[in-house]
A and B are shown apart, each in its own frame.
Chain A
Amino acid sequence: MSDATLTSPTAAAVLPGEAVGTHDAGSLISMREIWKTYQMGSEEVHALHGVSFDIPKGEYIAIIGPSGSGKSTLMNLIGCLDTPSKGEYWLNAKNVSEMDDDELARIRNQEVGFVFQTFNLLARATALHNVELPLIYGGVSSSQRREMAEKALSAVDLTDRMLHRPNELSGGQRQRVAIARALVNHPSILLADEPTGALDTHTSMEIMDLFERLHGEGNTIIVVTHEPDIAARAHRVISIRDGLIEKDEKIR
């Protein structure tokens, strides 16, 4: 336990000579000198070159950058789908940078709610069952699960579509099912990857309105996008280029 305290971001921040700058002790996310290196044949490719930032609880943040900028790599790291080659990542006071597969699965289950561009719903399952999935892998009993999933679906106004399968729903409805699924387990962060990429303008705005409402209710939201319109809805924008943070600004 004392080891963990020594290397925690709070402790690291007060060490003299630390180059990573100040950071908020109450941060939900703390990235410290994150590198991600891929081996391409004999060549090493650096997707991230030592990225550091903090995200406090309750923030609405957009990560923006062109394709190949390292934005997707960063998203995978934030979502605990991958671990950094170097550096430390603290999520909700847990050091996830050195976790094994099953520990990461548990963190994804408890701390992260994913919203994908292509929704990624199970085609054969009803909306209700799709929303229940994270609870199933979290070991929640079936009666409690059903109650929580129904609540989540009603919060995205899909009470009357609970027993429909994805192919019986419109794109906007599917994305709302995905959002209900992301939030059903009360995660620390809602992580959306191009959430409006497969939707028309009108539906996109509806989804973004929903995000704004969810943010207003206290959720921490991270949207990864290449669309400036979508990024403009956030309160803070981090721009990534060539594996580095180019700009990190509060816009609201």
Chain B
Amino acid sequence: MTPGDTSQRNAFAEAPKPKRGRLSFFRITALWEAFLVAGASLRANKLRTALTLVGIVVGVAAVIAVVTIIQGLDNKVASTFSSQGSTVFSISKRPQIIRSREDFVKFNKRKNVTDEDAEAISRLCTSCWRVGVAANARETVKRGDQKMENFTMRGVTPTAMFDVDGRSLDVGRIWTEAEGSSGHEICVVGSDVVTNLFGGRSTDQVLGQEIKIAGRPFQILGVLEPLGSIFGASRDSVAYIPYSTYQKLYGARDSIVVMIQVSGAEQLEAAEDQVRTIMRNRRGHTAGSPDDDEGFSLETQDVFLDLYGKATSNIYLVTIGVAAISLVVGGIVVMNIMLVSVTERTKEIGIRKALGARRKDILTQFLIEAVAVTAIGGAIGVLTGFGLAYLIAALIGFPLLMSVGSAVLGVGVSSLVGIVSGLWPAWRAARLDPIEALRAE
């Protein structure tokens, strides 16, 4: 025997059995092989893989785009309303949202909310921190031949109302108490006034300048920090004037809004109860007849948030419906392709089984392949969705909030679709008789 023979003998017949991995449900080595095979198979059939992905991509992209846009909006809405916070509520003649003509008629029959109401609340409500009065009017504002239509003029008192409204000064000052009760024609303006009527000038250059509101000259004392717009309406197209001046212009005929702020959110409920009781007494409302109109509207910002929430939840529902349909269709496509793949690779399955692959090894191999397809589809869908949201946001001017959560959810749900639709084809592959499978061409 030659020395070469000896080494070959060692190589085979007499070599010790190799050390083996712990026997567990999944052999790590077989699992890794499954990943490699899945990757190779998807790469070998690029066009088929791409077509298989379409349904999943569309479904996930739709959800991601809508969720991203709505989350962006949510964020905007939340930050807009939180500038006032959950410590403020109001008493008014009419609620801010009126749902029917009957309601409108009913609300119009109510008595006006007056200074006396505000004064009574201020005096009697012990849980209230600050009580103020506000009245709004739509006016045209002019400077020379420049003018702005549909401009909000807000008469307020006391000056703490700036705080209650969540407004802060950029430059200049707010009127003093003395000026506030004097009826002088002075104002603090929103930044739109500077942009539209003093085009190009910096904010401090407009201090002391005059603008004409409702045909009367007003001196600018200060400019407010801009708040931006919500639902397309600018919140900076505004001028604050002392309530006394407002009364001088419009008289006391209009109903006012009483704004109440509590020092902390935990006092809100107690304050609302007190104010409601005070107002019911003043309107002569008798308890025990709940159908009767109270004669006033007590509102927090929740009314806006509720309305907004209802609108967006409908959009969510529709999107989830669309996504569910495309994911189901996508899942069926994946199942179909996997069945084809199993049939095509019957021989390969036979070889693997002859060499010692167990049912679960084959099952995992095809499951991983199905999940790989749908997870890739999900990932592409997430990217497409973000891209779409970005485009829409850029076009309409919404803020954009891309969340990791929705990306993870998108890939997760599509992987789940992969498991569900891959299970049956994989089970069929796993159950193939190795003899029959080896005979296949």
Contacts and interface: CB of A to CB of B under 8 A. Distances in A.
A141 B21 contact: yes
Nearest to A57: B13
Interface string A109-145: 1100010100011101000000001111111111011
A218 interface: yes
Interface stretch (B265-273, B279-287, B346-354): B346-354
A56 B11 CA distance: 21
B35 to A, nearest CB: 12
A122 to B, nearest CB: 6
B42 to A, nearest CB: 12
Which of B12, B22, B361 has most chain A Cβ within 10 Å? B12
A134 B350 CA distance: 13
Nearest to A105: B358
Which of A102, A136, A141, A219 has most chain B Cβ within 10 Å? A136
B356 A134 contact: yes
B342 to A, nearest CB: 16
Interface stretch (B25-33, B54-62, B68-76, B155-163): B25-33
A137 B18 contact: no
Interface residues of B, number: 40
B355 A134 contact: yes
Nearest to B24: A139
B438 interface: yes
Contacts of A155: 8, 11-12
B23 interface: yes
A76 interface: yes
A223 interface: no
B20 A140 contact: yes
Contacts of A154: 11
A150 to B, nearest CB: 10
Contacts of B359: 101-102, 105
B18 A108 contact: no
Given A101-B359, A144-B18, 13 more contacts: A79-B354, A82-B435, A105-B353, A105-B357, A110-B356, A120-B351, A122-B348, A136-B29, A137-B352, A145-B29, A186-B13, A186-B18, A218-B9
Task: Enumerate the 5 nearest inter-chain pairs by beta-carbon distance, A residue then B residue, closest first.
Answer: A109-B356, A139-B21, A218-B13, A137-B356, A217-B9
A102 B22 CA distance: 16
A141 B29 contact: yes
A81 B40 CA distance: 28
A81 B29 contact: no
Interface string B335-373: 000000000000110111111111111000000000000
A181 interface: yes
B253 interface: no
Interface of A: 76, 79, 81-82, 101-102, 105-106, 108-110, 114, 116, 120-122, 124, 133-142, 144-145, 148, 151-152, 154-155, 181, 183, 185-186, 213-214, 216-219
B435 A140 contact: no
B116 interface: no
Contact of A139 (B30, B348, B350, B352): B30
A15 B119 CA distance: 115
B141 to A, nearest CB: 76
B27 A186 contact: no
A149 to B, nearest CB: 11
A217 B358 contact: no
A102 B9 CA distance: 31
A110 B23 CA distance: 13
B29 A142 contact: yes
A122 B351 contact: yes
A195 B355 CA distance: 17
B5 A217 contact: yes
A138 B20 contact: yes
Contacts of A183: 12
Contacts of A185: 18, 356
A139 B20 contact: yes
B434 interface: yes
A122 B359 CA distance: 19
Contacts of A138: 18, 20, 29, 356
B19 interface: yes
A114 B355 contact: yes
Interface string B36-53: 000010001000000000
A124 B11 contact: no
B5 A140 contact: no
B18 A135 contact: yes
Given A110-B356, A124-B44, A139-B30, A217 B12 contact: yes
B15 interface: yes
A81 to B, nearest CB: 5
B306 interface: no
A2 B350 CA distance: 36
Contacts of A218: 9, 12-14
A187 to B, nearest CB: 9
Interface string B125-141: 00000000000000000
Contacts of B23: 139
A224 to B, nearest CB: 14
A76 B355 contact: no
A108 B355 contact: yes
B17 interface: yes
Contact of B354 (A108, A142, A217): A108
A120 B354 contact: yes
B15 A186 contact: yes
20 contacts: A105-B358, A105-B359, A109-B355, A110-B356, A122-B351, A133-B33, A133-B352, A136-B30, A137-B27, A137-B30, A138-B20, A139-B20, A139-B22, A139-B30, A148-B18, A152-B12, A181-B355, A185-B18, A217-B8, A218-B9
Which of B14, B15, B20 has most chain A Cβ within 10 Å? B20
Given A101-B358, A105-B357, A139-B30, A219 B13 contact: yes
Given A141-B29, A144-B18, A106 B438 contact: no
Contacts of B32: 142
A136 B358 contact: no
Given A122-B348, A124-B44, A105 B13 contact: no
A81 B355 contact: no
Given A120-B438, A139-B20, A139-B29, A152 B11 contact: yes
Contacts of B347: 120
